[in-house]
Amino acid sequence: MSRFASCFLAVSSLLTAVVGASARADEYAVDPAHSAAVFRVAHLGLSWTYGRFRDVSGSFAIDPQNPSGTLFYLTARVGSIDTDNPKRNEHLKSPDFFDAAQYPSVSFKSTSARAVEGGYEVAGDLTLHGVTKPLTIILKGGRSAEFPKGVQRTGYVTEFTIKRSDFGMDKMAGAVGDKIMVEFSFEGTKQ
């Protein structure tokens, strides 16, 4: 067999394996009505200020037979930030913080996943304020339900902490804490 033929067969086998793995994954679209991205940050070291992004979206693919074929892409629109205070919301959207005009979204894109008890350990890239940093999260869940009739769903929840200064958001240090605690809960509908 020629070297070209051997190479062709190896590439064909690899492509068949990758396509086969993708074909087994169940694909989901994030249901914004049943998903939430919530955060809290310290104010003056005295109390917590809570907020959320009202516009979240994304997609994911779950392959129970091959966790490496499991993928997540989650995003939140910065302009939808809500801390229950309109003046603070506008300040958070300004260049002092998120700079929503220049950086309209926060996103997480997985690079690998492995099954763990109760869910997945997912490594990926978090992009915030134009800066991308690696982030590993534990997604708990994965139970399925049918609601409404004929619509298959599954969902996950995660909690993690980031430092806003790692993403170039260092204004008002001291008054506003550097550590941001995030909880993201989402449901997806099977496509």
Closest CA to 108 of 2, 16, 24, 35: 35
Closest CA to 180 of 35, 189, 170: 170
Confidence check: pLDDT of 175 > 70: yes
Closest CA to 72 of 20, 125, 133: 125
Confidence check: pLDDT of 107 > 90: yes
* Percent over 70 (pLDDT), the chain: 88
Helices (H), 25-154: 86-93
> What span, in angstroms and rounded, lies between the C-alpha atoms of 130 and 118?
33
Confidence check: pLDDT of 27 > 60: yes
Dump pLDDT digits (tens) for 34-73: 999 999 999 999 999 999 999 999 999 999 889 889 999 9
Domain boundaries, the chain: 25-190
Q: pLDDT at position 12, please?
A: 42
In Å, how far are 18, 120, 132, 174 from 68, measured between CA atoms?
11, 10, 22, 41
- CATH class of residue range 25-190: mainly beta
Confidence check: pLDDT of 81 > 50: yes
Read off the DSSP letter of residue 96: T
> What span, in angstroms and rounded, lies between the C-alpha atoms of 56 and 41?
20
Dump pLDDT digits (tens) for 116-142: 999 999 999 999 999 999 999 999 999
Residues contacting 100, CB < 8 A, separation 6+: 78, 79, 81, 93, 94
Q: pLDDT at position 70, please?
A: 95
